[in-house]
Amino acid sequence: MPAIALITGGSRGIGAATALLAAQAGYVVAVNYATRSDAADALVQQIRAQGGTAIAVQADMAIESQVMAMFSAVDAQLGPLTALVNSAGVVDVACRVDAMDITRLKRMFDINVIGSMLCAREAVKRMSSVYGGAGGSIVNVSSAASRLGGAGQYVDYAASKGAIDTLTIGLAKEVAAEGIRVNAVRPGIIDTDIHASGGQPDRARLLAPTVPMQRPGSALEVAQTIVWLMSDQASYVTGALLDVAGGR
């Protein structure tokens, strides 16, 4: 039976690169998207054209009923889940904490933190030996911002990723004896369109000189780390926070 991976936020950026690479590694892939059905469908077609198997499944991470429906769709269309990648996330425009309103904060934490925890909850119910599952792997996409703080730009985003780090460590210990490994990657300056959604399309290029390796990373470089953590090659790795940040 093939391994089955659900990639949240899979229609773009790191999520899309991970979905493509996972399919190339033999996973059957569920590509989650919130609104960009066109991008998700195009990625699914690309995977199928390369001989892989994939479906697109819609869910807004901030809405529990949609998250539940997404997992039910994966159950029905693909089968028992083997791996979850919590890649869905948002940033916002550069802003100090004293200028952040409740709407911004709720959106940030509903999607970045609560959505990831809901997905982790549902994945554990399917993977854990306690529930009759065969084990599995959860990889959370955190950020180097969780240890750098995001001062003057997005402390809220950094704080949400700090929560992801804590979730990773705690959940890893909680389910280690149940056949589930839980790890996180912490990307640094990565050249994806998430910067444009935060109003800084040139951010990766402009910050490249601050990176010891003197360049931004690529979505593929992060995806390669995620797929390794998903795999049996990382069979004794759990609770790890793995920086993919060029030394930053």
Which residues have a catalytic role annotated?
157
Nearest to 113 by CA among 150, 153, 86: 86
Separation of alpha carbons 169 and 183, rounded Å: 8
DSSP 3-state assignment of 39?
helix
Strand partners, 86: 140
Q: How far is CA 58 from CA 11, 32, 51, 115, 136, in A?
A: 10, 6, 23, 14, 22
Instruction: Give dist(CA 159, CA 149) in Å, integer.
Output: 7
Q: Distance (Å, rounded) from C-alpha 72 to C-alpha 77? A: 9
